[in-house]
Chain A
Amino acid sequence: MSATGTYNKLVPEPTPHSAPYWEGLNRGKLLLQKCGGCGEIRHYPRPMCPSCHSMEVEWVEASGRGVIHSWTITHHAFHPGVRDDLPYTLATVDLEEGVRMLAQLRGVPDDKLRIGLPVRVEFETVKEGLTLPYLVPGEPA
């Protein structure tokens, strides 16, 4: 992947509710919504807290640490843009903050994948104005 040239992968279309999340990634920060009413952290970004129905939101920086909840290793190019990445591992991760994230995991051999494996988030600018998170092995908590 390079920050220049043609980027032919799918790109997000941020909404007013999610724009701070994407802007956070561009600054190398994983930001989560914290409810302004009850303090509950939620992900992915959305306008309303399902617990207290407040639409007040504070953005807090996540630690970036978590453990693997599940995963898949993709061998088929479902989009032309990912062909050169095959095979790649997508990990679902339980973050310390109590919500999950999904991202590509690098640096873990297939036979070492397991539920509970510690990982941490890194960031990569893939094109002008778009930074994506990815995961690498982390230290046990």
Chain B
Amino acid sequence: MSLREKGAITGVGETAYSRESGRSVLSLQLEASLKAIEDAGLKPTDIDGVIPYASGVVAEDFITNLGLPDLRFSAVTPLGGASCVAAVQCAVAAIAAGICNHVLIPVGRNGASQGRIGMRVQQMPQFRVVGEFEMPLGAIAPAQLYAPMARRHMELYGTTSRQLGEIAVSTRANAMLNGNAVMTKPMTIEDHQASRMISDPFRLFDCSLESDGSCAIVVSGVERARDLRKPPVVVMGVAEGHPDSPSVITQRPDMTRFGLAKAAPRAFEMAGVKHDDIDVAEIYDCFTFVVMCQLEDLGFCKKGEGGPFVESGAIRLGGKLPVNTHGGLLSQAHMVGMNHIAELVRQLRGEAGKAQVRDAEIGLVTGYGDMGDGSVAIMRRG
């Protein structure tokens, strides 16, 4: 059995994104969840599966607050930033197996106002090995752990900081078209080059935001999805992939290759589409380089050619492959990539407003997490 066309995204919901919500993470997640359920045209009591993000809010909280009488499925997909798209795979699998009908996948955090990243990752079990052997040496935050991947790419392939900057600039331009983005000031390549160095080669504008807010989606069986309020967005192919040496980048044979490189061929094969069929792509962007490397791992360009690819304007709105049309984690908000799924759904429904890619029918969304976990889903307008 394949998961091809077995499930669809039927609802998406987002709170306002900010630097200080002034509310609990649970209340944020409940608000986004209610919006997603409403968007699907469902009642909370229709939800019979939930995949909470590994952040302290648990399935029991949704049963208790949403009043779910008979939750039949719960799981957690602990792949850091690859969790959300991996959760879509998990939800479609549970639905295809007949376990449940409508799975709620919420993410929410007070990432800006509480527990910032350098402190937060020390508590995560996926960072245990790095925590013992690298953090005591001063390699503490993802920016420092990922920077050597970017530096190696630059040394091997001639990739430049300005090329990374193009990703930040393009993403900011898209955020300015979105009514719910934290960063709305225009950015030029010169602004990027003038931003302070965090951990070379990553400048401030190569790094994603820390944000407060919540984003949730509902995944339903493809048959039931047809009867709901909005046109379904059908999951054609979905996969997760784990990199070699998944606990530490230091020991990875090729540190310019993510788990996504393993997942992408599986997802494309399942979906039965080619790269040219993809009209829009929402690519996990915790750092600019992570976008570039994923474009290569997905096969949109060859390994090492990500720099010239983005420099050509390919990822701009109106380009060959518009990327992160909502402003991404770099400029909209850091919602662990659930906002990427929400944006793809809007694009494929034709609800993306000023950032709408004309006639978008098929799109792709990725996740990237921890030390290089990858996930990817290819979806179509239903």
- Segment at the A interface, from B71-79, B83-91, B144-152, B297-305: B144-152
Closest Cβ neighbor of A126 among chain B residues: B136
Is B148 within 8 A of A70, CB to CB? yes
Decide: A44 and B200 in contact? CB cutoff 8 A. no
Alpha-carbon separation in the docked complex, A75 to B143 (Å): 11
Whether B134 lies near A102 (C-beta < 8 A) is: yes
Q: Which of B132, B197, B251 has the most CB of A within 10 A?
A: B132
Interface flag for A33 (CB, 8 Å): no
Give the residue name and chain of the A residue nearest to B147 (CB): A72
A100-125: CB near B (< 8 Å → 1, else 0) gives 11111000001000110000000000
Contacts of A63 in B (CB 8 A): none
Of all chain A residues, the one with the shortest Cβ separation from B118 is A78
A54 within 8 A of B: no
Q: How large is the interface on B (under 10, 10 to 19, 20 to 34, 35 or more residues)?
A: 20 to 34
Residue from A10, A72, A90 in contact with B136 in the complex, judged by beta carbons closer than 8 Å? A10
Among A90, A100, A115, the residue within 8 A (CB) of B137 is A90
Bound form: Cα–Cα A103–B138 in Å: 8
> Is there contact, CB below 8 Å, between B144 and A44?
no
Provide the residues of chain B in CB contact with A27, threshold 8 Å: none
Instruction: A12 to B250: give the CA distance in the assembly, Å.
Output: 17
The answer to the question of A76 belonging to the interface, with a C-beta cut-off of 8 Å to chain B, is yes
Alpha-carbon distance A44/B249, docked complex (angstroms): 11
Q: Which of A14, A76, A85, A104 has the most CB of B within 10 A?
A: A76
Task: Answer whether residue B97 sits at the interface, using C-beta atoms and an 8 A cutoff.
Answer: no
A residues in contact with B197, CB < 8 Å: 73, 75-76, 87
Among B137, B200, B251, point to the contact of A75 (Cβ < 8 A): B200
Contact of B152 among A10, A12, A115 (CB under 8 A): A115
| Cβ-neighbour of A11 out of B136, B144, B250 (below 8 A) | B136
Closest Cβ of chain B to A39, distance in Å, is: 18
User: With the chains together, A72 CA to B203 CA distance in Å?
Assistant: 12
Q: Are B132 and A14 in contact (CB under 8 A)?
A: yes
A interface bracket (residues with beta carbon within 8 Å of B): 35 or more
Most buried by A among B139, B196, B248, B251: B139
| Pair B200/A10 contact, Cβ less than 8 Å | no
Given A43-B251, A72-B147, A74-B199, A102 and B152 contact (CB-CB distance below 8 Å): no
Chain A residues, CB < 8 A from B156: 115
CA distance A133 to B139 in the complex (A): 13
Q: Is B135 an interface residue (CB 8 A)?
A: yes
Q: Could you tell me the distance in whole angstroms from the C-beta of A123 to the nearest C-beta in chain B?
A: 12
Among A43, A90, A92, A130, contact of B138 (Cβ-Cβ < 8 Å): A90
Is A59 located at the chain interface by the 8 A CB criterion?
no
Q: Which residues of A contact B137 (CB under 8 A)?
A: 90, 102-104, 132-133
Are B200 and A73 touching (Cβ within 8 A)?
yes
Report the bound CA distance from A48 to B236 in whole Å: 38
Within 8 A of B (CB), among A51-91: 69-76, 78-79, 82, 85, 87-88, 90
Q: Does B21 contact A (CB under 8 A)?
A: no
Q: Which residues of B contact A71 (CB under 8 A)?
A: 148, 151
Which residues of the partner chain B approach A78 to less than 8 Å between Cβ atoms?
Answer: 118, 140-141, 143-144
Does chain B have a CB within 8 A of A26?
no
Q: Say how far A106's CB is from chain B's closest CB, in angstroms.
A: 12
Best-buried of A12, A15, A72, A87 by chain B (most CB within 10 Å): A72
Q: Which B positions have Cβ atoms within 8 angstroms of A?
A: 118, 122, 129, 131-141, 143-144, 147-149, 151-152, 155-156, 196-202, 248, 250-251, 255
